[in-house]
Amino acid sequence: MKKQIKGSLSIIVATVIWGTAFVAQSIGMDHIGPFTFQAVRCLMAVLVLLPIIAVSDKLSGKNFWRSWCDPTLWKAGFLCGTPLFIAVNLQQMGIVDTDAGKSAFLTAMYIVFVPILGIFRGQKPSKWIPISVALAVVGLYFLSCAGVTAIATADLLLLGCALAFALQILCVDMFANKVDCIRLNCISSLLCAALSGAVMFLTETPTWEGIGNCIGPLAYAGCLSMGIAYSLQMIGQRDMHPATASLLMSMESVFAVLAGWLILGERLTPWEGLGCALVLIAVVLSQIPDRKKTSV
């Protein structure tokens, strides 16, 4: 029970940070490109996590360097970091033309994708999945298509982001109990920084002035969102049931809407508000287990 409470608190704190980070990411796009933002953000996360790991190792009596020599850790880092790289950059590109609240709700579609992708791991979906998918499709229509003749490119980018996040969640679920979660996040962040940096130099023209102008949002999104929150996600998934963790993670969309309203003064149209409500209901239903399964 104590582990479940610890896991729940870890996930809740992570979702608050992620939700408010949408505002930081939105503000950051006023000064630098998406790949520049993610490259610097992820590098900041690594620089924050390394001293945390060193202090933790010293307190627990571990050898700092020897603990990095686990092949499973590096395998997990690359498997978790690759979809994370795709997800965060698609998200950042999508945020350019979408407000923080709407971005968060589209990103929350990963909660629907997770149980569907679980089929390929031999996990039979619950009876609620068809209902949740139908609700999500209707919600996405109201959120993205009502009043327009075509789906916006940003919406498609954010849906791709949600699919990539679903893959990252499943990868974390595979390795969270096998490796050091903070080291796992550090390697994932390092891979994200390297890949984002490579694309940055190919497609963008980063400047120190541009980076300096959004150092605050970068620090928040890097140190707190990428460094602390993703570590909390991995710790939370280790200590609690994956369905409960996913359900709690979906609440980041609610915190993002509140943050966008309080900080950026964003407003959703009635149709977009209805779409957000339907998507939130869909992600909740997608995580309800069948009674027959829970009673076995």
Asked whether residue 172 is assigned to any structural domain, the reply reads yes
Please state the φ and ψ torsions of residue 140, each to the nearest 5 degrees: -65, -35
- Rounded CA-CA distance 186/177 in Å is 16
Asked whether residue 212 is assigned to any structural domain, the reply reads yes
For residue 3, which of 176, 224, 185, 230 has the smallest C-alpha distance?
A: 176
Per-residue pLDDT of the chain (296 residues; tens, 9 = 90+): 566 677 778 888 998 888 888 778 778 888 898 899 999 999 999 999 999 999 999 888 888 888 899 999 999 999 999 999 999 999 888 877 776 666 777 787 787 788 788 777 776 666 777 787 788 778 777 766 666 556 677 788 888 998 999 899 889 988 988 999 999 999 999 999 999 999 999 999 989 999 999 899 999 999 999 999 999 988 888 877 665 677 677 777 777 777 777 776 767 678 777 877 887 787 777 666 665 544 43
Asked whether residue 199 is assigned to any structural domain, the reply reads yes
Asked whether residue 53 is assigned to any structural domain, the reply reads yes
For residue 237, which of 55, 76, 92 has the smallest C-alpha distance?
A: 76
For residue 284, which of 234, 241, 246, 233 has the smallest C-alpha distance?
A: 246
* Contact by Cβ (8 Å): 16, 190: no
Asked whether residue 62 is assigned to any structural domain, the reply reads yes
Nearby residues of 285 by Cβ (< 8 Å), 6 or more positions away = 128, 131, 132, 135
Overall domain count for the chain: 1
* Reported pTM: 0.82
- Distances in whole angstroms, Cα of residue 145 to Cα of each of 62, 134, 186, 197: 54, 16, 38, 34
> Domain range holding 164?
2-289
Asked whether residue 295 is assigned to any structural domain, the reply reads no
Asked whether residue 296 is assigned to any structural domain, the reply reads no
Asked whether residue 95 is assigned to any structural domain, the reply reads yes
